[in-house]
Structure 1
Amino acid sequence: MDTPPEGAGEARDGVGSGHCVLAEGGVCIAQSVKIPREPKAGEFDKIIRRLLETSNARAVIIFANEDDIRRVLEAARKANQTGHFFWMGSDSWGSKIAPVLHLEEVAEGAVTILPKRMSVRGFDRYFSSRTLDNNRRNIWFAEFWEDNFHCKLSRHALKKGSHVKKCTNRERIGQDSAYEQEGKVQFVIDAVYAMGHALHAMHRDLCPGRVGLCPRMDPVDGTQLLKYIRNVNFSGIAGNPVTFNENGDAPGRYDIYQYQLRNDSAEYKVIGSWTDHLHLRIERMHWPGSGQQLPRSICSLPCQPGERKKTVKGMPCCWHCEPCTGYQYQVDRYTCKTCPYDMRPTENRTGCRPIPIIKLQWDSPWAVLPLFLAVVGIAATLFVVITFVRYNDTPIVKASGRELSYVLLAGIFLCYATTFLMIAEPDLGTCSLRRIFLGLGMSISYAALLTKTNRIYRIFEQGKRSVSAPRFISPASQLAITFSLISLQLLGICVWFVVDPSHSVVDFQDQRTLDPRFARGVLKCDISDLSLICLLGYSMLLMVTCTVYAIKTRGVPETFNEAKPIGFTMYTTCIVWLAFIPIFFGTSQSADKLYIQTTTLTVSVSLSASVSLGMLYMPKVYIILFHPEQNVPKRKRSLKAVVTAAAMSNKFTQKGNFRPNGEAKSELCENLEAPGNLQGPACVIQPAIARRIIKACHHNLPFFSIKPHNYVFIASEDEQGGGERKQREVGFAQEMGLGSFSQTSSYSIRRTRTPTPILGAATPGGPLNFQGTSSSFYSKTSPSLLQSTVGRERQI
């Protein structure tokens, strides 16, 4: 720091030259602070705070007058920084007592310089003899007298209550006050002699042989005089040669002092000198707190490993240490560089190391629940398959549609098996199988269910309009439709393999945490979230479509092709997948994304398969194993059917009477037999009506045998015997064309004690004659709805 004194360039020159010399010597200046000419209150406190910004730079070189030096020391003591700074003062500090008076501890260790000098004894004798009477020519002498003797020359200047006395003019310098010769007296004397020698040489050259000034020196040319001053060479008052270099500077000869405290006494001790080069005696130096050990004063501490230097502009030795952050490592002292994407910095950030790679382990807690569901589900599926194969020809297995049932079981099995593929270590084979089977199992399941519900829907919709059979309702047609739907999924997978071949990848982005210590690479298959949506999208479309058909067929009787169980299955499945979507995609930013999404997906697939298995197959298995009496042909049970005939235009005999409730009854055939009498008159039905009855029953009763032009109509009769009511089923007719019946034959598919066929005969274009037991055919309110009363009023 420096004080720019007005009218003098000492500080400015010292600072300027000091910067250059220090820079040449590799010494850096951490801060350069200027002391204002007229400092305000608190200005020196600000200076100390600024110096503390670079607290490791403890050496302070100060170019200032002794008053400013003292204020700086006072501010340092006020900031409780005694012993922190090491002061280095210019010759304005020198060996003076005034700057350090009562500040000895703060100034301890200060190194100052003073030009080499000797005391001029003649000046001491002269100055000590000066009084107010014999030194009136010096206008500042009176002020010096008051300050030196602590008195006032004027009585009016005295203040009441003050301890300042009036000067008596009998005081003597050196006797009544401390006196020390000013250190620059020698140089003032030499300067006066240098001026004299220069004028003498100039006069000799310009005014040879003349006394006094000649015209060439009147007036004196200052520029010319300066040249003569720089050329003087004489012996000074101390015996040293007085010369000047080309810059006008005298040779530097300095004594180096250190302000030391020893045994409660303070003194400036000479520790070296400078005469063309440095002579320093280190053993004489003493530093506060560390004795003779040299203190450290550096602009910046060396950076630690993993930190880079950020230099301060204009100060190459000063820098800020900035740590390499994130995934950066230290390349050199000044550079941090980011590690490759598959690596992370070492602990001290001096290099990079591979990021650990993780995958879902078989023993992971996240895999316990999916594996448990899969194992139990596969065992249950195999149990159902074995049961169905063993009881393959029983009515319950037949009524469930054996072909589609086995297809659905295959899809359920694949859904459970997918769990093992999702947890297995990703490689080329595993990733390929994931692409194939993740959506295939669900597609097979929902394609089979969709085919079933669509068949039921088409049968009942067709029955509302006509009794003609819908197309593609045979088992072969159902399998063809199912595999057509499945083939679309397989086609999409094949296209995917062609466009983007399967492979495993290590994703370093999913678990790239802010702290590289916790970064992990995730080994997984190259199936993005978008690809997963496309993969499962087709299965979801089949599921939604199947749900729509399940809603449309919810009102059919429960005995018809599992319409209601399929509906409940689809409703529950939709709920499962609606819960899956927010959990799966809502955790895309989680650090545990791999575990959460894999667990959620596998559990959802297993639950969907479990719903289908539990609602559609477990009730059947239960009946097969625990209630075999119910797994018998339908002929032993009451026969129920809804026969829908479309827009019957035929006319038939009606008895125009009404039921008690006002319902019209149209009797097509009367009950003409007596109990036990099997020989009754014929019942005549128009061929068109019979034809529609037969076809409607075939469409709606799954246990009818289905052959081209062969419709077996099963009727029922009551038989009284042994105190029990028995049922008989008899069949009639073989339709050989669309408009006539011929070649009547007896047909019975039940076991009875006395088979009694009902014979029916028809001629082309003529009526169909029935002969049989207690059977009456009538319609209720609408001629398009036919019902049969068998013993009790049972519906056919």
Structure 2
Amino acid sequence: MVPDELLWEEYFAVGEPPQQRPILVFLSSEPLGDRRCREGPQITSATLSIYDDPLPIAHEFYQPGDLVIGEMVSQVIYFSNIQFFREQPSQILIDEPVSVPKNYQHILALAFAVKEINENPKVLSNISLGFRVLNSYYTARMTYKAMLNLLSTQHRFAPNFKCHKWNNLIALIGGCISEISANMATISATHKIPQMVPNEAKQHIGIVRLLQHFRWTWIVLCAVNDDKGDQFLQTILPLLFEHGICNDFIVRLEKWNYLDEMIRLFIMRQESYAIAFETKANVFVVYGEPPSFLFLRVLSFVVPIMGWPPLGKVWVATSHWDFASVSIQKTWEIKMFHGTLSFTVHTSQPLGFQKFIQTIRPFWNKEDVFIQDVWEQTFTCSLKASNGQEVEAEQKEPCTLEEKLENLPGVLYEKHMTGHSYNVYKAVYAVAHALNSIYKSSSKNSRLARGERFAFLNVQPWQVHPFLKSLVFNISAGDMVHFDEHGELVAGFDVTNWITFPNGSLTRLKVGCLEPQVPAGKELTINDEQIVWHPSFNQALPLSVCNDNCNPGFSRKKKEGEKFCCYDCAPCPEGMISSQKDIDACVNCPEDQYPNMDQTHCVPRIVSFLSYKENLGIILVVLAISLSVITTLVLGIFLKHKDTPIVKANNRTLTYILLISLLLCFLCSLLFIGQPGRVICLLRQMAFGLVFSLAISTVLAKTVTVVVAFMATKPGSSIRKWVGKGLTNSIVLFCCFIQAAICALWLSTSPPFPDKDTHSVIGEIILECNEGSASMFYSVLGYMGSLATASFIVAFFSRKLPDSFNEAKFITFSMLVFCSVWLSFVPTYLSTKGKYMVAVEIFSILASSAGLLGCIFTPKCYVIVLRPELNSREQMIRKKE
């Protein structure tokens, strides 16, 4: 059974013969600084034992120093077939390693930063920094082996032993691939060595903000087919759905593989390519690292060969995206990726870096093992031939040694410092400033000046951590470096537009930036006009939606069984608008506005009420005043001829009351014209109800008087005692009292009030009197209708009584007109809107009042004015006989 403190790992050296046995490494938990080299292996839980020591890692760059910074790079690659565990693992490897020239800048950034610090007396005075760079070969097993080499003395594989007192590994710079950094952390964590790896998780919200900025809601997600890809999808998918963005489908990108196998895989996936070509999504969001991007590079290589149509899409990528090409890809076409948008680590150009690159030649540093592969494979030449060594006929031409890295195309090597290289540069300075803080702290607390430097050189890696977290400093490029409360480097991202050229070169164009520290919603700033899009979009803003946008005036309607980004467009309901594209729901206009014809925006409403200034109002006013004048004239006639028989007949007092009430009826119609106010709303319906009740009560009293008078003329009739003013007054008062009680109840419970009607007529705000209680309003009308019905019935049955001046037949006609008007009023009133409702009520008041006036008083006025000879007692008696 293996003790808990032991770490077991099996390591295979790349290119080692099949018969070589793996090594078994024991790592104890004892601190690194407490070990010294011993002769011969000893297998105990407290020591290290190695069987069959493997070949050392071939690619290394070492510069000695008092304190050493380690760096893991992915500069050299070996391609191998996929192992399926169904047969003996294949040992077929490419004879020579394949170099990634672009990654060589990461090494130069480290060397340049160390050179600057060592030449600067203000930082780490009398202390020199060194570095040791090893290659990971893009594999976990070689990363572990390289880590153990970093923990060993150079040229001697003895992890966890300090064989040279000045060979102190103080910090590690993680690889530009997260998997490599994670593998490094499994070992560095046991030794508490600080590992400088930037946190790039905040790019996820940057992707969402970018998609929102361009209104791209229908996308394709491409993620590397490993745990990191799974983690990315688990993080990004909820964010996308939360912000209204859907994915059509997900593509999993393969990692490094044998090239022939990758090309064969693409050819087999021709149908999948057709789906990617036909999708409505014009935006492909890619998450992956340089190894997985080779899969897309193979796609750009295979498409023209197979005669497939070009894939004109917008590629949106995380900061890991890079058009880094291995040497065998330098002639491959990359125009498919023209116009790509990616988040790149914010970078500046340190002073002197370009000049430093110009000094790089194949033999610039004998410890740099990487440069030979970079130079030979990039410039397609042989350094051995350049040195005069004999080479075979099929070998490359000799290198002239005049080749320059800055003349290479961007896919192989970028002239300016990239974001990953800038992170390496900042990491070296962060370690240097932390060490400087430690040195100053130890100097203050130490009394032995001579022993200060010796004591400082024994500083342990774990002592660097607290000083790193509290660092704030500026570097020569002009940027400030500091860490947040979680100990993570605070850094923003640039939005980069990648522009490719037919000769295989490319350039970066900064078109925006992402600042994760700013308030939510304002993290992204971008300049649309600077962006160069793929030629398939003709420099127009690409659309990436499931279906066409819903124009203003329409809202989105979900399609059953499909993602929420796919929808139909439904016109806005009446009275609602949508002023923008792709609105989820239409909205109502403010009360003082209404939708235009297209329902795209609101326009101001017109204030409407029955005014004295408009034609309809003028006509009704003239009509009401004219009828009032006529009524006044009739009253004057009756007052002037008050002693004539026709005026005295049927109770002269009731006649006066009826004429006055009709006059008031005509005048009360004027209360319905003009802008309604609180007092007007209270008065007009009450006045209308009471005055009309008075008029109809008077008509009823006159009718009852005719009947009672006729019955009283019969011999021995007991009704004679009811004849007189007492009966008529009682009828009028009683009937008016009931209507007054109804009005009082109406006022005390739910009185009328001024109101605005914004729904009845489109485009108008109708100023009206809200009746308060519709039931009370119709109760007033209903009561008047019952009085009119009673008058009509009594008058109808007494119309043939023998009386020369019998008013019953005239009252019958007047009540017939009155009831006809108000029966037609109710449906007409309910079917009209706005000020025309008020006009209908005014017309009904005037028509019914005019009916009473005309039917009852026209015959009498005719006799009084035009036939005065008939207005005599003799004539009345003669006609009666």
TM range (shorter): 0.3 to 0.5
- Find the structure with the greater CA-based Rg: 1
Normalized per residue, which structure has more helix? 2
Greater RCO (Cα-Cα under 8 Å, separation 6 or more): 2
